């Protein structure tokens, strides 16, 4: 099977449960501190690996305790992390996550070394172009993301960009994206189109196609996903689960999607796989510890189909 190459962030996450988020100037009590592996890039690499893909991860960590633990974790997961650079001049990225009783979260990321990943860093060795699919997010510099997208396209790789977190994206990047996977907020911030319902999602998707993307999948949280392509829009319903923590659900979706596409599955088959992975990730606390194994994804898919 062809490999999935993931370029992106790796963080150490500090997650706590709260009854509600604090108001401005307020101090509240939280509970259940969970210190665990995260970062949208590393999460998506683990999600793709658990979904059955061969995975190469490229990123940057500090020469510190967390950086060393992240490297070991990737190795334990069976992910090729030889493209991960240790930089003595920065700290490994960290994220601070509040989760409320409904499972919704608020995240503050301190990017550290993730923001020092350069195009030159991607040119060490031949890891970037060693797969069929390149998967990226926006927790590393835009310049690096754009460079990787263009290089992968030149070499005939299929490119997937998960534009998270929502940040303005240089227009020239879009034409190098085969598949863009924003959530509602990200789709809205990239297009200026309000995305409050399926109709809004369809309009935003069409706008993103006009901006140059090959296909667009807008994830709709607990309502599933909408695929907008040249042939029109198609809705894929969500799987019904009881959510406890939505952290990592988008990463589960993207990693499983890339894994299914690397196996040669068509988009209409890969999207339900990704939806199932995303749903399962909400049923457990944390980011990487919540990402489902292939067998669990298959069980949920076969329970419904
Ligand atoms: O998508 C969830 C991730 O966002 C967390 O693991 C955190 O590190 C941030 O990058």
Place of tokens 């863009």: 180
Cis check: omega of the bond before 165, within 30 degrees of 0: yes
**Residues catalogued as catalytic:** 251
Q: Taking the CB of residue 213, how many other CB atoms lie within 10 A of it? A: 26
Q: Is 266 helix (H, G, I), strand (E, B) or coil?
A: coil
Q: What pLDDT score was predicted for residue 305? A: 63
Instruction: Compute the 3-state secondary structure of the chain and give helix, strand, coil in percent, each to the nearest 5.
Output: 40, 25, 35
Compute the CA torsion angle 80, 128, 122, 38 (nearest 10 deg): -50
Are the beta carbons of 97 and 247 closer than 8 angstroms? yes
Closest CA to 234 of 212, 196, 266, 259: 266
DSSP code string of 22-36: PPTT-----EEEEEE
pLDDT at 22: 95
pLDDT tens figures, 203-227: 999 999 999 999 999 999 999 999 9
Beta strand ranges found along the chain (DSSP E) = 4-7, 11-17, 31-38, 55-62, 80-87, 93-99, 105-110, 133-136, 158-161, 179-180, 215-219, 225-229, 232-236
| Residue for token pair 């070394």 | 113
User: What ligand 1 atom has the least distance to the C-alpha of 250?
Assistant: 1
Retrieve residue 230's tokens. Answer: 């040249």
Paired with 183 in beta bridges are 219
Closest to 43 in 3D by CA, of 97, 91, 1, 2: 97
The owner of tokens 């290089």 is 151
Going from the Cα of 37 to the center of ligand 1, the distance in angstroms, rounded, reads 9
Q: Which residue's CA is the closest to the ligand 1 atom numbered 8? A: 39
Domain boundaries, the chain: 3-21+33-303
* CA neighbor of 159 nearest in space, from 171, 143, 175: 175
Bridge partner residues of 233 (DSSP): 228
**In this structure, is the dihedral angle defined by the CA atoms of residues 276, 282, 287 and 292, taken in order, positive or negative?**
negative
Let me know: does 56 contact 5? Beta carbons within 8 Å.
yes
Residue 7, CB half-sphere, CA atoms under 13 Å: how many?
33
Structure tokens at 42: 């590393």
* pLDDT for residue 184: 97
CA of 305 from ligand 1 middle (Å) equals: 31
Q: How far is the CA of 222 from the centre of ligand 1 (A)?
A: 19
Contact by Cβ (8 Å): 84, 73: no
Beta 11-17 vs 31-38: how paired, if at all? antiparallel
Indicate if ligand 1 lies below 6 Å from the C-beta of 139.
yes
Per-residue pLDDT tens digits for 155-173: 999 999 999 999 999 999 9
**Spelled out in words, what is the top-level CATH class assigned to the domain 3-21+33-303?**
alpha beta
Residues (pLDDT < 70) of the chain are 305
| Euclidean distance between CA atoms 45 and 162, whole angstroms | 13
Nearest residue by C-alpha to atom 10 in ligand 1 = 39
- On whether the CB atoms of residues 32 and 17 are closer than 8 A, the answer is yes
Q: Which of 109, 221, 252 for a ligand 1 pocket mutation test, highest count of atoms within 8 Å of Cβ?
A: 109
For position 179, what pLDDT does the model report?
Answer: 98
């Amino acid at each position: 099977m062809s490999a999935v190459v993931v370029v992106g962030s790796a963080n150490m996450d500090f997650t706590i449960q709260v009854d509600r988020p604090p108001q401005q100037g307020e101090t509240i009590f939280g509970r259940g501190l969970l210190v665990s592996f995260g970062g949208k890039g590393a999460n998506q690499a683990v999600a793709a690996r658990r979904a059955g893909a061969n995975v190469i991860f490229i990123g940057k960590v500090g020469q510190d305790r967390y950086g060393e633990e992240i490297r070991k974790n990737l190795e334990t997961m069976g992910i090729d992390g030889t493209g991960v650079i240790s930089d003595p001049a920065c700290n490994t990225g960290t994220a601070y996550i509040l989760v409320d009783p409904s499972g919704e979260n608020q995240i503050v990321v301190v990017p550290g070394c993730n923001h020092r990943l350069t195009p030159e860093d991607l040119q060490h060795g031949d890891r970037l172009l060693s797969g069929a699919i390149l998967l990226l997010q926006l927790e590393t510099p835009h310049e690096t993301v754009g460079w990787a997208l263009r290089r992968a396209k030149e070499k005939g790789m299929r490119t997937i960009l998960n534009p998270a977190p929502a940040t303005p994206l240089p227009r020239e990047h879009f034409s190098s994206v085969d598949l863009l996977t924003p959530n509602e907020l990200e789709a809205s911030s990239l297009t200026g189109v309000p995305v409050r319902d399926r109709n809004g999602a369809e309009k935003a998707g069409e706008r993103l196609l006009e901006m140059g993307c090959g296909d667009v999948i807008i994830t709709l949280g607990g309502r599933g996903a909408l695929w907008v392509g040249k042939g029109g829009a198609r809705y894929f319903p969500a799987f019904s689960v009881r959510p406890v923590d939505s952290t990592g659900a988008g990463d589960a979706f993207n990693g499983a999607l890339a894994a299914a596409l690397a196996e040669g599955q068509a988009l209409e088959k890969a999207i339900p796989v990704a939806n199932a992975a995303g749903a399962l990730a909400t049923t457990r606390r944390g980011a990487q510890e919540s990402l489902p194994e292939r067998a669990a994804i298959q069980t949920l898919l076969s329970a419904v189909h």
